[in-house]
Amino acid sequence: MNDLSQASINAFQLLLSGNAEIWEIISLSFGVSFSAILIATPFALVIAFILAFFQFPFRRVLISLFNTFMSVPAVIVGLTLYLILSRSGPLGDLRLLFTSKAMVIGQVMLSFPLLVAMAHASFQAADRRAWETAITLGATPWRAFFTLMYEVRFGLIAAIVAGFGRVVAEIGCSMMVGGNILHSTRNIPTAIALETSKGEFAQGIALGMVLLVLSLSLNAGVSIFQGKGELQA
Amino acid sequence: MSNLIDYKNISMALSGNTILKINHLAIPAHQCTLLTGKNGSGKTTLLKIMSGLLKPNSATIHYQGLELSWKQAKPYIQKDIIYLHQQPYLFDASVADNIGYGLYRAGESKSAAHHKVMQALDWADLTHLAHRSAKQLSGGEKQRVAVTRARILSPRLLLLDEPTASMDSDAKKQTSLLLQRLKSEGVSIMVSSHEMHTIEHIADRHLHLENHDIKLIRHTPSSNKVTLLNTTKKKL
Ligand SMILES: Nc1ncnc2c1ncn2[C@@H]1O[C@H](COP(=O)(O)OP(=O)(O)O)[C@@H](O)[C@H]1O
Ligand SMILES: [Mg+2]
C-alpha cells in the first residue's frame, strides 16, 4: 500500500517535472494516432457519404462489411500487418516493421471501419433536402458534399473523436508491428504494459493517468457532439 | 411565342409503379403556371425532374434551341432552374449567409455578394432577421428566406413545391404576395398545390396532373396578361 502511494506520488512528479522519457512516449502516442486519423478520415468520409447517398450493387454488403470489421481485435489487425510487413511478407522490402510508420498503418486499418460506420450513420440521418438544396442553388457535387459535411459536422466530429479514442488506447497492433522500442515505437499503452511488468510502477501509473484522462474526455466529447447532432436534427 | 423550355415524353416509374407519363409539358417565359393534383399524383416528382434533381426513366428536353436528353440537359437545367422544397431546407447558418449561399458558389466576390444580400434582405423585408440563425425561424419566415435565396440568383425558372401547404392564413398571404412580386418582376414561376385557391389569382395558366399526365385547364386571361406586361415595362 505504502509502495503504491509512493509510486503514485512519483508518477505525479514524473509528469510535472517534464520527465523527458515520459513526455517522449506521450508525444509519440499522439503523433502516431493523429497521423493515422488524419490519413484515414478523408477517405472514410467520402466512402461513408457514397454509401449513404448513392444506390449501387453490393452497397448493403459493403455497409455490413465495415460494421463487421469494426469488431476485429486490434491484435488480429497487428498480426495481419506483421505478416505483410515481415521480411518474407509481400511488403517486406519496404522495411517498415518495427517503425512508427508501421504503427500508423496499423492504426489507419483499425480506425477506418469505425470512422466509415459512424460517419455513414451521420450521413444516413442527414436531410436529403440539404443535398438537393445545395445542388439546385448551383453548388458542384463536391461543394455540396462539403456543405452536407458541415450540416452533420457534430456527428462527424464524434466519429473522428471516437476513432482517435480507439487507436490511441489500443495495444495489440502497436505491440505487434511497433515492438515497443524506446525513442522510436514506444507509445503509452505498450509502455504501460511492459514497463509495469519490469517493476517501473511510477511510469506505468503516470502514463495510465494520462491515458485514462484522455479516454474519459474523448468519450465525453463523443457524447457531447452526438447530443449536439441530435439537437440539430 | 416561343417557350422557355419544353419537356417531351417524360416517363417515370418508381418501384415498378408508373408515376408520370407526360407527352408534352411546355413552360412559357415570364408566366406563372399553377400545377394542381391530388396528394401522391406526382407533383414533387415532376418538379424534381424538371429541375435536374431527379433522373426520369426517359425525357427529351428542348431548351435554348437544343434538343437534349435529360442527362445532357442536366447541367443547364440545374443551373437555370431552381427547385424549392415544400418545407424549405435552410442551412445551419445565419439568414444572410443562407441567402448568399448561391452567390458564393457562383464565385461572386465577397463585397459584391454582401451588397446583393443586403438588397435582397430589404426586398423580402427580412433585414431585421439577417443575423438570426436560420434554424430558429418560423415556417413562413423560412419560406421567405428560401424564395429570396433563389431569387437572388436570377433563375430562368423557379419551381415552388406547395409553398403554402401547412401554413396559417397570415403566412399564406405573405407568400402569395411574394409570388406576386416575383411575377411582376418577370420571373417565370411554376407553383404546385393540392388546393388551388391561395394562388389561383396570380396564375396565368393552370395545369392539372391526373392519371400520370398533364391537362391544361386554363390559358392566360388577356386582362391578366396586360397587367403583367405593364408592370414588367415599368420595371424596365
Ligand atoms: N422513392 C420512392 N419510391 C417509390 N415510390 C415513390 C417514391 N417517391 C414517391 N413515390 C410515389 O410516387 C407518387 C408521387 O409522389 P409525389 O411526386 O411526392 O406526389 P405529390 O408531390 O403530388 O404528392 C406517390 O404515389 C408516391 O408514393
Ligand atoms: Mg409533393
Residue A41: pLDDT above 60? yes
Task: Provide the mean pLDDT of chain A.
Answer: 93
Q: Which of B60-64, B120-124, B176-180 has the lowest mean pLDDT?
A: B176-180
Q: What is the pLDDT of residues B166-196, one digit of tens each?
A: 788 888 888 888 889 999 998 999 999 987 6
Answer yes or no: do B101 and A150 touch at CB < 8 A.
no
* pLDDT at position B152 over 90: yes
Report the residue from B52, B82, B135 with minimal CB separation from A137. Answer: B82
Give the minimum alpha-carbon distance from B84 to chain A in angstroms, rounded to a whole number.
8
Domain assignment of residue B98, yes or no: yes
Helix (H) or strand (E) holding B121: helix B110-123
| CATH number for B71 | 3.40.50.300
**Residue B166 domain-assigned (yes or no):** yes
Residue to mutate among B45, B92, B142, with most A CBs inside 10 A, is B92
The closest of B179, B172, B151 to B34, measured between CA atoms, is B179
Shortest-distance atom of ligand 1 to CA B37: 22
- Give which of A137, A151, A228 to mutate to test B binding, by max B Cβ within 10 Å: A137
Choice between B184 and B219, residue whose per-residue pLDDT is larger: B184
pLDDT band with cut points at 50, 70 and 90 for residue B225: very low
Residue B195's pLDDT is 76
> Is residue B229 one of the residues assigned to a domain?
no
Q: Is the pLDDT of residue A183 over 50?
A: yes
**Between A137, A139, A151, which is nearest B92 by CB?**
A151
A53 at the B interface (CB within 8 A)?
no
Whether the pLDDT of residue B139 is over 70: the answer is yes
pLDDT, position A102: 97
The H or E element spanning position B59 is strand B58-63
Given a cut of 80, is residue B7 above it in pLDDT? yes
* Ligand 1 atom 25 nearest Cα: B40
Tally of domains in chain B: 1
Pairwise CA distance, residues A69 & A131, whole Å: 29
Q: Is the pLDDT of residue A48 over 90?
A: yes
Q: Considering the domain boundaries, does residue A206 fall inside one?
A: yes
Residue A101: band (very low, low, confident or very high) from pLDDT cuts 50, 70, 90: very high
Which residue, judged by its Cα, is nearest atom 18 of ligand 1?
B44
Q: How confident is the model at residue B228 (pLDDT cuts 50, 70, 90)?
A: very low
If you take atom 24 of ligand 1, which residue's CA is the nearest one? Answer: B40
pLDDT attached to residue B227: 42
Least reliable range by pLDDT among A115-119, A213-217, B152-156, B174-178? B174-178
Whether the predicted pLDDT of B234 surpasses 50: no
Q: Which ligand is nearest to the CA of B38?
A: 1
Nearest to B73 by CA among B63, B65, B88: B63
Task: Select from A127, A138, A150 the Cβ nearest to the Cβ of B105.
Answer: A138
Q: Does B104 touch chain A (CB under 8 A)?
A: no
Mean pLDDT of B70-76: 96
Is B13's pLDDT higher than 50?
Answer: yes
**CA dist., res. B232 & res. B183, Å (int):** 9
Checking if the pLDDT of B142 tops 60, the result is yes
Average pLDDT in the B36-53 region?
96
| pLDDT number for residue B45 | 98
Q: How confident is the model at residue B84 (pLDDT cuts 50, 70, 90)?
A: very high
Alpha carbon of A115: minimum distance to chain B alpha carbons (Å):
23
pLDDT at B159: 97
B85 → closest Cβ in A129, A147, A150? A129
Residue B226: inside a domain: no
Q: Does residue B227 lie within any of the structural domains? A: no
Q: Taking the CA atoms of B50, B51, B53 and B58 in sequence, report the sign of the dihedral they define.
A: positive
CA-proximal residue: ligand 1, atom 26 (nearest) = B40
A34-38, A112-116, B128-132, B166-170: least confident range: B166-170
Gap from CA of B37 to ligand 1 centroid (Å): 12
With respect to residue A151, please indicate whether it lies within any of the assigned structural domains.
Answer: yes
**What mean pLDDT do residues A103-127 have?**
97
Compute chain A's Rg from CA coordinates.
Answer: 20
Q: Residues 6 or more apart from A144 whose CB is under 8 A from it?
A: A131, A134, A135
- Residue B12 cell numbers, joined: 417515370
Ligand 2 geometric centre to CA of B134 (Å): 23
| Strand duo B213-218 + B205-210: pairing | antiparallel
Is residue A86 within 8 Å of A131, Cβ to Cβ?
no
Q: Is the pLDDT of residue A231 over 70?
A: no
Contact state of B82 with A129 under an 8 Å Cβ cutoff: no
Mean pLDDT of B39-50: 97
Q: Distance, CA B40 to ligand 1 centroid (Å)?
A: 6
CB contact under 8 A, A137 and B53: no
Give the domain CATH number at A59. 1.10.3720.10
pLDDT at B220: 59
The strands making up B3-14's β-sheet, listed across from edge to edge, are: B17-28, B3-14, B58-63, B66-69
Number of domains chain A contains: 1
Q: Does A130 touch chain B (CB under 8 A)?
A: yes
- For residue A1, is it within any domain? no
Q: What is the pLDDT of residue B222?
A: 43
> Are A86 and A75 spatial neighbours (Cβ–Cβ below 8 Å)?
no
Are A167 and A37 in contact by the 8 Å Cβ rule? The answer is yes
Contact A135 B53 (CB under 8 A): yes
Helical H runs in A17-140?
20-53, 59-69, 74-85, 100-125, 128-136
The residue segments making up the domain with residue B98 are 3-219
| Structural domain boundaries enclosing A127 | 17-232
Residue B234 lies in a domain: no
The atom of ligand 1 lying closest to the CA of B39 is 23
pLDDT of residue B201: 82
Give the Cα separation of B62 and B72 in Å (integer). 11
Dihedral (CA of B80, B84, B88, B89) sign: negative
Is B11 within a domain?
A: yes
Is residue B183 assigned to a domain?
yes
A5, A67, A138, A195, B162 from A14: Cα distances, Å? 14, 41, 57, 14, 68
pLDDT, residue A121, reads: 96
Tell whether A124 lies on the interface with B, counting CB pairs under 8 A.
no
Confidence of residue B200 (pLDDT cuts 50, 70, 90): confident
Residue B29, pLDDT score: 93
Mutate to test the pocket of ligand 1, among B10, B41, B195, B210 (most ligand atoms within 8 A of CB): B41
Continuous segment of H or E residues that includes residue A202: helix A201-232
Average pLDDT over residues A64-70: 94
